Chain A
Amino acid sequence: AQKVTQAQTEISVVEKEDVTLDCVYETRDTTYYLFWYKQPPSGELVFLIRRNSFDEQNEISGRYSWNFQKSTSSFNFTITASQVVDSAVYFCALSEIGNQFYFGTGTSLTVIP
């Protein structure tokens, strides 16, 4: 079974629309971390955010926001007022005790001008 599931393979939105990328994870650990990464067309993998399993507060950073819900094992990522520069593949990831690290399969986001 997948530890991290990103069911949306590809998403296209028109510039300035809001878009939410879904991430569902599976773990039996009580202590774990969740992450989001961005991979733009240039190819590098860029770390965006880390959340601790004990901290369910939502986080906002500019146009980016993250919604962490342990009840549904989800860690969703919303981009508000999307821009062309947001076009990228976004990966969700999970770190369990003992440094087991799992990436989702990624969601390819295309923002159309």
Chain B
Amino acid sequence: DAGVIQSPRHEVTEMGQEVTLRCKPISGHNSLFWYRQTMMRGLELLIYFNNNVPIDDSGMPEDRFSAKMPNASFSTLKIQPSEPRDSAVYFCASSSRNRDTQNGYEQYFGPGTRLTVT
């Protein structure tokens, strides 16, 4: 079975440009998460979706960041305009949930997108 797929794997762009990161979760998983990882701030949760609905976006840094999940098999994270401080590795992860308690089971991570904004 394919794991979580992210594209692109690497992205280099100039400050002010729009960046779109893409994610395909594992089939059958109903929760999707976007994380950002930097040396300074570690692993940060940006936003997560349950059944394609955004549940908690309190980790999104500012209005320049937006995320969508138009269907169960695709999500995007967009940064517009990008800034050098957005340089990081962005991970997408997906999981299923306990049907009764809604506790999330283990998250499976994609390989990440390494974003460099110059």
Chain A residues at the B interface, C-beta cutoff of 8 Å: 31-33, 35, 43-47, 50, 91, 93, 95-101, 103, 105-106
Segment touching A, from B16-24, B62-70, B75-83, B100-108: B100-108
Chain B interface mostly helix, strand, loop or mixed?
A: strand
B residues near A43, Cβ cutoff 8 Å: 89, 111-112
Contact partners of B91 in chain A: CB under 8 A: 45
Greatest chain B CB density within 10 A among A93, A95, A97, A106 is at: A95
A-side interface mostly: strand
A97's partner among B45, B102, B108 (CB-CB below 8 A) is B102
What are 28 pairs between A and B in contact, CB < 8 Å?
A: A31-B101, A32-B103, A33-B103, A35-B106, A43-B111, A43-B112, A44-B109, A45-B91, A47-B107, A47-B109, A50-B106, A91-B43, A93-B107, A95-B104, A95-B105, A97-B101, A97-B102, A97-B103, A98-B102, A98-B103, A99-B55, A99-B103, A99-B104, A100-B56, A101-B95, A101-B104, A105-B42, A106-B43
Contact B103 A95 (CB under 8 A): yes
Q: Whole-angstrom distance between the alpha carbons of A97 and B102 in the complex?
A: 6
Interface size class of B (residues with CB under 8 A): 20 to 34
For residue B33, CB closer than 8 A to chain A, the reply is: yes
A101 contacts B33, C-beta separation under 8 Å: yes
With a CB–CB cut-off of 8 A, which chain A residues contact B98? 31
